[in-house]
Amino acid sequence: MEHERVTHTIEPVYDDRSRVLVLGTMPSPTSRNVGFFYGHPQNRFWRVMERLFALPDHALVDNDARISFLLEHRIALWDVLASCSIEGASDSSIADPVPNDLTHILDAAPISHVFTTGGAAAKLCRRFDGSLLRERGVTHIALPSTSGANARMRLDDLVLAYSPLAEQIDMHLAKRAVRRVILARRDAMDAEDRATRSRELCRELVDALDRLPARSVVSAYAAMRTEADLDAYIRAAYERDLTVAFPCMQRATSGRQTMVMRAVSQTDYLAHDVPFINRPVASFEPSSVDEQRFPLVNPQTIRLMVVPLVAFDDNGHRLGYGGGNYDTYLPHLSSDCTVIGAAFETQRVDRVPVEEHDRTLARICCA
């Protein structure tokens, strides 16, 4: 295929409310034919947007719906180049590039971040627009290509990679998208593999038990659904004559649920006769007998706390189930309490969406 001189003819999408700008390189022949960005049916850009922003599948299949979505979610969309020589849709063949002028978008809208889609777009953006973005205080983040040619990345991988874009628009939706992907990934684990990895993880946690003073208080959680099973760690704690506390959801005076820790005896644990373990997300209203049977634990007395994770990254950022229970509880712990996150390796992501109130973990055990 020979090089063809192509001029960009698709108008940018933005208004004075746009907060992020997404830039590709140059519309493909298919996109030029349909008159809009990412128009090839094998390009997954719009499918990623549907997943990130919790839209129904195929909600963004026509140009009008796509424009409405972009404006509603304050996303500006254009390309780095105004013209270039190119072979078909091959970014690697681009020659003699001429950039678009981004200043009229940056002047009209409070753009804080520019996201480029694909390696060529990122390289060209840095070349032509790097100084402009730095002068304007605009952050440039390079994202992977959503082209079907980028076959090594599955749709779920792309959703995770594009979560920084969603963070700038709606942190809640960004976290929800990551949860959905990672929980599906964890649920897909083979049951035998999950059990084997749980035992490996517990061996590391048991090593931490052996460093504790006698009669220490430790926390655990009873696995829900496909979480890492801590049973071997819990039994080891009882064997060492340690007090084991479990999270218990209670209704606060405000009417909202709050998490406390209650001690559970080995007898009750082995008998599977603990209401707040059997129904961990339900509110537990203890009777006077329950208060004695499952005494409240002062967070200052806990020496080792194991925290369940949905997702984590190498910086110690964790993503929970969205209730904020551990984020609220962790500040009440003693400074000498060891806090360890527990998860499977498949729950590791490049970057967890985080907010100021989210607590990082100094140590995460995974298998």
Residue pair 300/287 in contact by the 8 Å Cβ criterion: no
Distance of alpha carbon 239 from alpha carbon 233, whole angstroms: 10
Residues β-bridged to residue 346: none
- Give percent above pLDDT 70 in the chain: 99
| The predicted structure's pLDDT at residue 25 | 96
Q: Of 1, 169, 220, which Cα lies nearest the Cα of 90?
A: 1
- Backbone φ and ψ for 315, nearest 5 degrees, come out as -90, 5
Residue 210 CB contacts under 8 Å (≥ 6 apart), including other chains: 240
Condensed to tens digits (0 to 9), the pLDDT of residues 120-138 reads: 999 999 999 999 999 999 9
Place of tokens 């931490």: 208
Q: Give 353's DSSP letter.
A: -
Condensed to tens digits (0 to 9), the pLDDT of residues 90-111 reads: 888 999 999 999 999 999 999 9
What does pLDDT average to over the chain? Answer: 95
- Backbone φ and ψ for 98, nearest 5 degrees, come out as -120, 125
| The predicted structure's pLDDT at residue 271 | 96
Condensed to tens digits (0 to 9), the pLDDT of residues 294-353 reads: 999 999 999 999 999 999 999 999 999 988 899 999 999 999 999 999 999 999 999 999
Q: Give 297's DSSP letter.
A: -
**The pTM is what?**
0.89
| The predicted structure's pLDDT at residue 357 | 79
Q: Does residue 192 register a pLDDT over 80? A: yes
| The predicted structure's pLDDT at residue 39 | 95
Give 358's pLDDT tier (boundaries 50, 70, 90): confident
Condensed to tens digits (0 to 9), the pLDDT of residues 193-243 reads: 999 999 999 999 999 999 999 999 999 999 998 999 999 999 999 999 999
| The predicted structure's pLDDT at residue 23 | 98
| The predicted structure's pLDDT at residue 1 | 63
303-330 burial, b for 16+ CB within 10 Å, e for fewer?
A: bbbbbbbbbbbeeebbbbeeeebbeebb
Place of tokens 């091959």: 90
Residue pair 36/10 in contact by the 8 Å Cβ criterion: yes
Distance of alpha carbon 92 from alpha carbon 165, whole angstroms: 25
Give 356's pLDDT tier (boundaries 50, 70, 90): confident
Q: Of 243, 230, 238, 250, which Cα lies nearest the Cα of 341?
A: 230
H helices present in the chain, as ranges: 29-34, 45-52, 63-72, 103-108, 119-136, 155-161, 163-169, 171-187, 191-209, 231-239, 266-270, 275-278, 288-293, 325-329
Residue pair 322/340 in contact by the 8 Å Cβ criterion: no
Counting beta carbons within 10 angstroms of the beta carbon of residue 150, is it exposed (0 to 12), middle (13 to 18) or buried (19 or more)? middle
Distance of alpha carbon 340 from alpha carbon 316, whole angstroms: 10
Place of tokens 């961990």: 280
- Give percent above pLDDT 90 in the chain: 91
Q: Does residue 57 register a pLDDT over 70? A: yes
DSSP 212-240: SPTT-EEE--PPPTTSPP-HHHHHHHHHT
Condensed to tens digits (0 to 9), the pLDDT of residues 252-289 reads: 777 788 999 999 999 999 999 999 999 998 999 999 99
Mean pLDDT of 141-148: 96
Count of Cβ atoms closer than 10 Å to residue 287 Cβ: 8
Q: Give 200's DSSP letter.
A: H
Distance of alpha carbon 17 from alpha carbon 19, whole angstroms: 6
| The predicted structure's pLDDT at residue 3 | 79
Residue 123 CB contacts under 8 Å (≥ 6 apart), including other chains: none
